[in-house]
Amino acid sequence: MDVIAPALKDGDAEVRKMAAWALGQIEDSTAVRSLTPLLKDPEADVRVIAAWALGQIESDSALSALEVARNDRSPAVRRAVQWAIRQIDDDRR
């Protein structure tokens, strides 16, 4: 996590996207704090992957940021956010 997190702030959207994807694969709940700012990234593709990663991690601590992201201007981001929220809610049952 500590090695990947700095890439979330890289100037290249592809680097940010791949770093978010990697953190989602790792499913480490400590990554939630680093991933949630990406829900406001200027690039929709990055926001989609950030939402996906948060859904993979399934941490309740991501819910408030995901709730805000439900209103994203991008339909793809809104779909990813809805999926992530469902993943977290399903894990809580």
pLDDT tens digits, 16-36: 999 999 999 999 999 999 999
**Is residue 3 classed as helix, strand or coil in its secondary structure?**
coil
Q: For tokens 């990554």, what's the residue?
A: 31
Fold category of 5-92 in CATH: Leucine-rich Repeat Variant (1.25.10)
What pTM did the predictor assign?
0.93
Phi, psi (5° rounding) for residue 28?
-95, 120
Question: Any idea where the domains of the chain sit in the sequence?
Answer: 5-92
Rounded distance, CA 75 to CA 46, Å?
13
Q: Which two tokens stand for residue 15?
A: 């680097």
pLDDT in tens, 37-63: 999 999 999 999 999 999 999 999 999
